[in-house]
Amino acid sequence: RGWTSLQAAERRVRSFSGSARVSPVYGPAESQQVVFADVCPLLTSLLDWYNVCILAYGQTGCGKSYTMLGPLSKDKRGDLGIVPRAAGELFRLISENPSRSLKVDVSIVEVYNDDILDLLANERRPAVSGPPWEAPMTKATKREVSPPVRSAEDFVALAAGSLRFRARRATRVHAGSSRSHLIITATVTAAPAGGSPGKWPCTPGQGHRGEMGRPAGGRASPGSPGAQQVREQVHAKLQLVDLAGSECAGVSGVTGAALRETSFINRSLAALADVLGALAEHRDHIPFRNSQLTRVLQDVLGGDAKLLVILCVSPCRKHVAETLQVLGFGAQARHVQRGPAGGGGAAARKPR
């Protein structure tokens, strides 16, 4: 019955979007490897100097963290999520062309109650009032600069180590509910190919070997004033995002500090939907400043960027209203088309 409800919800949201293109739907029996196979081609765009974002969205308890992170354990490699698999693929692509001088820097932050908290910082402030977290957190303004990451193993180790500091709380819906949006950012930096002026490693849309042009996010041409500084390095950003789940306080049973968290979570998700709606409608003003979440994601939501939204939904009939809301968000994301990179796509997944 639950699967029938999900199929009906999908048909209904297609009628909302007016789109004939069908996104893949993964059932609970599908492996993490199958899911990543549809995500993997997007990573090649990163070395074509597009900003790339892979984002998991859905109601609380529907498997977003499992899809994005998996167990992050070597003894359960078959269950590894998108983050460790993306790290492996990124460094595999880099290793295929050792002549290119590429550097990868990683930052890991969470957006908690509309504050940006750095999960890699050494100094940590006391936890906020209410039940204790698994570990306290710190403001991103006190952020430590970590050395470049040189392998997929280093990348995964950083991610696994930072997760113990993420804000979590037990609710009626989920025993380890994430109370923040987790954003893992890998910034790939390159010098001009061969070190010669006027040759970029590649430019958006021109393939890995590239030709002379501008880097993603840059507007200076090789002969323009200020171009010498731009020639020194070009950047592309990969953001892997595990959003906190949308939540109904009446269902989750939260009160006090937890209720405040729910309010901030839902407001930031609404701000994200507003931004995607404004981008889809090509409005002059895009409300990135309405939330710290959308500020952090601004580079990957517009311009030379590609966005993939993974929708995690429940197949249960009692959650059909939330499922429709999630699919509606995905339909909105599918209409976003901004800049030469094109817009985003959306895929739906049922929880295990």
Gap between the Cα atoms of 77 and 301, Å rounded? 31
Report whether 59 belongs to an annotated binding site.
yes
DSSP letters spanning 116-166? EEESS-S--BPPPSSS--SS-B-BGGG---PPPB-SHHHHHHHHHHHHTTS
62 is in an annotated binding site: yes
For the record, the structure tokens of 330 come out as 């995905």
Spatial CA neighbour of 156 closest among 214, 87, 209: 87
- The answer to the question of whether 138 is labelled as a binding residue is no
Instruction: Confirm whether residue 198 is marked as ligand binding.
Output: no
User: CA 306, CA 346: separation in Å to the nearest integer?
Assistant: 12
What single-letter DSSP state applies at residue 185? E
Nearest CA to 186 among 143, 157, 155, 230? 155
- Cα of first residue to Cα of last residue in the chain, in angstroms, is 16
245 is in an annotated binding site: no
Separation CA 111–CA 126 (nearest Å): 16
**Residues present in the chain in total:** 352
The annotation status of 237 as a binding-site residue, yes or no, is no
Check whether 65 is labelled as a binding-site residue.
yes
64 among the known binding-site residues? yes
Residues at the binding site are 58-65
Residues at the binding site for ATP are 58-65
